[in-house]
């Protein structure tokens, strides 16, 4: 039995991104929207995960080898655990190249999180 999991496809450049949830100020969340948003923010609620997510997001080229981001003050197995949690929350994708795994932040996730937290301008 394989433990392989299909990764979501990245959005093609220039294609509109469908957010997971409406902006907080637009309307109350449905139960499903709240679950989706909570899963993302819960994954980022751990300081080590937030550091790893930031390291990947800010890395040159938009992706990072695990070998370049594992210096966050915890053991390698713990780094792997946290990266797995970020992947399960849909915040990262990964690709194995030889012996190394490269991580990339899902552009649609960043766009979705930004839209979620943006406060709409007051109606005139």
How many C-beta atoms lie closer than 10 Å to residue 57's C-beta? 17
101 SS3 class: strand
Answer yes or no: is pLDDT of 9 > 50. no
Model-wide pTM > 0.75: no
Q: Which tokens go with 28? A: 């109350």
Q: What is the pLDDT of residues 35-56, one digit of tens each?
A: 888 888 899 999 999 999 999 9
Largest CA distance in the chain: 59
Q: What is the pLDDT of residues 76-92, one digit of tens each?
A: 889 999 999 999 988 99
92 contacts 104 by C-beta, under 8 angstroms = yes
Query: pLDDT category, 106, cuts 50, 70, 90?
Result: confident
């Amino acid at each position: 039995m394989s433990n392989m999991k299909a990764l979501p496809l990245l959005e093609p450049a220039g294609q509109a991104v469908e957010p997971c949830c409406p902006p907080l100020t637009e309307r109350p969340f449905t139960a499903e929207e709240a679950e989706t948003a909570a899963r993302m923010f819960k994954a980022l609620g751990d300081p080590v995960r937030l550091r790893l997510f930031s390291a990947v997001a800010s890395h040159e080229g938009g992706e990072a080898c695990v070998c370049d981001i594992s210096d966050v003050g915890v053991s390698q197995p713990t780094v792997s655990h946290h990266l797995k949690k970020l992947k399960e929350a849909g915040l990262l994708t990964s690709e194995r190249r030889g012996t190394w795994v490269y991580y990339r932040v899902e552009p649609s996730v960043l766009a979705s999180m930004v839209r979620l937290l943006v406060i709409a301008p007051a109606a005139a």
